[in-house]
Structure 1
Amino acid sequence: MLLSFDVFGTLINVRESSYDAFRSILGESGRPDVDVRAFWEYWEERNISHYWETYRPYKEICALSLGEAFAHFDIPGDPSAISHYFDAFSRFQLYPDVLSTLETLSRRHRLAIVSNIDNDLLAVTPLWREFDLVCTAEKARGYKPDGTLFRYLLEHAGVPLNQILHSGQSQFTDMVGGKPLGLTIAWINRRNIQLAPTVPKPDFIFPDIASLIPLIERMA
């Protein structure tokens, strides 16, 4: 089997890893009082909305979305402050279950990552292991929600569709983009949130990736 994984939010604890960068952005913009979590979530929603548009690099989308978040929160900020976020990538933290789980799974299966990201940002992200297949938005010239990035995965997987299990945390990118293509998807619901009624249902739901091991042993 080929086991593919979303990166940011599934393997990397992206919210906790990037809040300090966004606190710096808000502080430099004169609004340290703004709830960083609410600001981050609005910014991420705008990112996802732009994934549906004609391809542009992730870094450009992030800056565009930051400008929109500033406007939404009535903050006179400079979108170039998004550089604080990019600078934080080398300090991002894996979830505690990631390395041991991937090591176990890699003994019998090939591993892939599928990420809405630019190649250079992924390159500085401390994943601490190699993967058999790396699929990025930059390589695919498109993102997950409209299926472009998942079609890239399917084209390069080297196995039939029914031999791929994709695991991801984002219902609005992983499920929305992958399920219409027939992918088997495990929703890694680390934040224990509700599935939106408009989102295709995943095949499996787990609180972490360690919980995948018994499932994959049965499927193999």
Structure 2
Amino acid sequence: MSPKALTFDYFGTLVDVDRGGTLGMAEVLRRMSIETDVPMFDVYLDWDIRNVRLYRGQAYARYRDVAREALAAVLDARWPGARRDHAMDELTDVFLTHLVEASPAHDDAAPFLDWAASRYPLMPITNMDSDLWRRTQLTRYFEHVTTAEMAQAYKPSQAIFALALERLALPAQDVLHCSLASWADIDGAKPLGMAVAWINRGADTLGTWQPRPDFEFATLSPVRNLLDSLSFTTTGESR
């Protein structure tokens, strides 16, 4: 294997989406004058789980619309009646603004992308609306992106990965996909023939029936050594 392009899961793999999402949830509750002793991350995680279940369990709908439905469900379950005098479109915009704009890059992301950008075409494959992705912190590294909105499908659907390969004009075996999200990206990319480097930042465990990644690392940094070794094996010289 000698990759000719790199693709990425964006939120989680390259940026700390949990941080941005937790800040967003805190701002939503502040604007609603809701005080709670529940850890804000737990409220955000409740939203995240509901959000993923929704977009995986129904026909395609825009991420923004799914996020609004999940946010309303969280508020109704935890604080019944609290959103009665608040516009959900506005609360959702507040939440998503923080989620996409305030999610900081992981420490290893920019150094790795700085190194990789001059060597490979780079493309995120993300379960996000295109306009929301454009507001994130690392867009300068990517000339192209493939979003769920473009594919009208969410990962792990093979449709979004197939569209990314079409836009890269490369066969699956020439692309290395780097991702933290095992269920979305290993499950979606492997059946197409893409190699996957699982960036297992949280020391998670794969499910019994899940396909296994080709490589597993705790951070992005070792992917550079992997690519150097693959290049040396193929060409006899390191990049």
Query: After the TM superposition, which segments of 4 or more aligned residues of structure 1 sit over 4 Å from their partners?
Result: none
CA-to-aligned-CA distance 1:77-111 (integer Å, 9 cap, x gap): 43442222222233331111111111111222111
> Number of residue pairs matched?
220
- TM-score (normalizing by structure 1): 0.91
Distance 1:46 1:150 in 2: 23
Structure 1 equivalent of residue 93 of structure 2: 83
Distance 2:16 2:187 in 1: 21
Structure 2 equivalent of residue 125 of structure 1: 136
Pairwise CA distance, 1:12? 1.0
Equivalent position SS for 1:129: helix
Q: Is the 8 A contact 2:67 2:92 kept in 1?
A: yes
Equivalent position SS for 2:211: coil
Distance 1:199 1:40 in 2: 26
**Counterpart selection for 2:211 from 170, 176, 200:** 200
- After superposition, residues 178-189 of structure 1 pair within 5 angstroms as 178-189=189-200
Q: Is the 8 A contact 1:14 1:93 kept in 2?
A: yes
Structure 2 equivalent of residue 37 of structure 1: 41
Pairwise CA distance, 1:31? 4.3
Distance 1:124 1:108 in 2: 25
Structure 2 equivalent of residue 3 of structure 1: 6
**Counterpart selection for 2:69 from 48, 53, 64:** 64
Structure 2 equivalent of residue 174 of structure 1: 185
**Ranges in structure 2 where 5+ consecutive residues have no aligned partner:** 232-239
Q: Could you say if the C-alpha distance between residues 35 and 178 of structure 1 is closer, same or farther in structure 2, counting changes exceeding 3 Å? A: same
Pairwise CA distance, 1:209? 1.0
Equivalent position SS for 2:141: coil
CA-to-aligned-CA distance 1:36-74 (integer Å, 9 cap, x gap): 222222221222222332111110010111122234435
Q: Could you say if the C-alpha distance between residues 163 and 155 of structure 1 is closer, same or farther in structure 2, counting changes exceeding 3 Å? A: same
CA-to-aligned-CA distance 1:123-172 (integer Å, 9 cap, x gap): 11111523243101111111112222112112222122111010111122
Q: Is the 8 A contact 2:117 2:141 kept in 1?
A: no
Moved more, 40-49 or 204-213: 40-49
Distance 2:219 2:116 in 1: 14
CA-to-aligned-CA distance 1:16-38 (integer Å, 9 cap, x gap): 12212111223426242222222
Distance 1:32 1:62 in 2: 22
Q: Could you say if the C-alpha distance between residues 15 and 192 of structure 1 is closer, same or farther in structure 2, counting changes exceeding 3 Å? A: same
**Counterpart selection for 2:114 from 84, 103, 126:** 103
**Counterpart selection for 1:48 from 20, 44, 52:** 52
Name the aligned partner's letter for residue 83 of structure 1: D
Which structure has the bigger radius of gyration?
2
Distance 2:33 2:204 in 1: 31
- TM-score (normalizing by structure 2): 0.84
Equivalent position SS for 2:12: coil
Identity level (%)? 29
Structure 2 equivalent of residue 14 of structure 1: 17
Name the aligned partner's letter for residue 179 of structure 2: G
**Ranges in structure 1 where 5+ consecutive residues have no aligned partner:** none
1:25 is aligned to 2:35: no
